[in-house]
Structure 1
Amino acid sequence: MYETITISNSEEIATLTLNRPDRANTISPKLTEEVRSAFGAIQADANIRAVIVTGAGRHFCGGADLRELGGGAALDLDFFTVFEDHPKPVIAAINGAAMGGGCEIALACDIRVMAEGAHIGTPEIKFGALPAGGGTQRLARFVGMGRAKELIMTGEPITAFEALRIGLVNSVVSAELLMEEARRYAAIFVQRAPFALTTAKRLVLKSYDVDLATGLELERRFIASMASPAERKAEQERAAAGQDTYGKIFRR
């Protein structure tokens, strides 16, 4: 069905693999088109509750495909919001180099797990460019202004353990355990109410754009309207059936 990605579904989890290993899974116009299409299909599929994004072969994503872009093709800079704006949780399983646009894909995901031997960075400045897919804006929100300036202005990549230390990724494991770790997060999300997960994503993202008073008002409004009474009751009953503590709370 796709030329540049593959999709597999298992236990309510979709795994989207960037599949251009001969070009380090770099981002081409065709890849952006197919990722958009796949995420649209995943959003419409109520049986899918979480998404894992990873790369085929040795690398996660080497950034933009400069050979294709050098031929006059334009990179869709709004492509990265596909991951951030998706209503379902998105987990980046960083199996190898995540450079430039690859780093920006990871930044736009909700959770980042990284293999021990992988590296991540924004090398664009070495070529007289800058990360234009949200890197100058999202990176500081994870690691602070000082480290973001360092990474962007030097263009030097960092190791997985350094990325963990500065808060850029959530977890570092061996390459052999990477997908198991990503699925561990996904399995947790499968057990959470979809309406609550979607609202949580929206509110946390909004927190960077508004002052505290406005954010608190949005929090009250979004949470109050995120589900019908019947949906909330059904979720409480589902949780109570599977967790003794919740059962005691909701069945008093």
Structure 2
Amino acid sequence: MDYKFLKIDEKENGVIVLTISREKTLNSLNTEVLKELSDFFEKIFDDEATSVIVLTGAGKSFVAGADIGEMATLSATEGYDFGKLGMDTLMKIEKGRKPVIAAVNGYALGGGCEIALACDIRLASKNAKFGQPEVGLGIIPGFGGTQRLIRAIGPGYAKEMIFTAKMIDAERAERWGLVNHVYEPEELLDKAIEMANTIAQRAPKAIQYSKSAIESGSQTDIETAMEIERTSFGLLFSTEDQREGMNAFLNKKQAKFSGK
């Protein structure tokens, strides 16, 4: 599939920088963009050469939200279908086998905040703005925002963001736990790639199993979550990377992981 609104930049160590590029609308998410994102993530997670994906936006915005021009005339059934497309696309990011780092360079509003929430790690520039403005438009967050936001920052802060529809700046987002780190705008992408390279040097299957255990375990009771962890922990002892990693440690060498 040829992408009209996505730019793909392959870096070293299997790091991919994916840029949503629809600058005239501040990279807003319409049906076409969502379908391109869905196709990209469905394919990239099966690509063994890819280790980490950095997701960002072109120009001065990360993603300013879903496309209101497209949503304004939707019927209830069409609204449901549009929400499902957004949810299904973001679920691919959350459940995918590879880590995804959001490099938030400006507005992350509505669907933009939601797509950042679906990523594993969120980094922001000092000029980033986060918000869920949907109630000001007569709707609610529809791509998972009511669920992921409370898990990320707790119900109190999540309700404040959703009920007031007000934006918060990067400093407050970091304080509330919405983002991991805040950087100067000119260094954001480099810092995201630097983190991606650090992750790329670790054992791929161990990263994959860690992500799966965290995502699955966070949705269930503690006993079930512990069993998920025990199973993943045990299975990794059958991998070449486990033997490589431990032998390298014992012999004071740098491990060279193969992903097997």
TM over 0.5: yes
Unpaired stretches in structure 1, ≥5 consecutive residues: 244-252
Residue 211 (str. 1) matches residue 230 (str. 2)? no
The one-letter code sitting in structure 2 at the alignment partner of 1:194 is P
**Residue 258 of structure 2: aligned partner:** none
Distance across 2 between alignment mates of 1:112 and 1:230: 31
**TM-fit CA distance, 1:226:** 4.0
Q: What is aligned with 2:211?
A: 201
SS of the equivalent of 1:148 reads helix
Q: Are 2:95 and 1:93 aligned?
A: no
| Other-structure match for 1:5 | 6
Equivalence for 1:250? none
Aligned-pair CA distance for 1:228: 2.4
Query: 1:212 offset after TM fit, Å?
Result: 1.2
Q: Secondary structure at the match of 1:241?
A: coil
Q: Which residue number in structure 1 is paired with residue 119 of structure 2?
A: 109
Cα shift readout 1:204-249 (whole Å, capped 9, x = no counterpart): 1123221111111111012212462434213434665217xxxxxx
Compare 152-161 and 198-207 and name the one that shifted more.
198-207
User: Does the 8 Å contact 2:108/2:131 carry over to 1?
Assistant: yes
- Structure 2 counterparts to residues 183-198 of structure 1, below 5 A: 183-198=193-208
Q: Secondary structure at the match of 1:44?
A: coil
- Whether the aligned pair in 1 keeps the contact of 2:42 and 2:92 (CA below 8 Å) is no
Number of residue pairs aligned between Structure 1 and Structure 2: 243
Stretches of structure 2 that go unaligned for 5 or more consecutive residues are: 256-260
Give the whole-Å Cα distance in 1 for the aligned partners of 2:132 and 2:236.
Answer: 37
The match for 2:131 is: 121
Provide the identity percentage. 37
Query: Does residue 144 of the first structure (1) align with residue 154 of the second (2)?
Result: yes
Instruction: Give the aligned residue type for 2:94.
Output: E
Shift of 1:69: 3.0
Q: Which moved more, 1:209-218 or 1:34-43?
A: 34-43
Change beyond 3 A, Cα 1:35–1:22 = same
> Which residue of 2 is the match for residue 25 of structure 1?
27
Report SS of the residue matched to 2:16: strand
Letter in 1 for 2:32: K
RMSD: 1.7
Secondary structure of 2:34 counterpart: helix
Aligned to 1:34: 36
User: Offset of 1:71 from its aligned partner?
Assistant: 5.2
1:83 to 93, 114, 119: 93
TM-score, structure 1 as length reference: 0.91
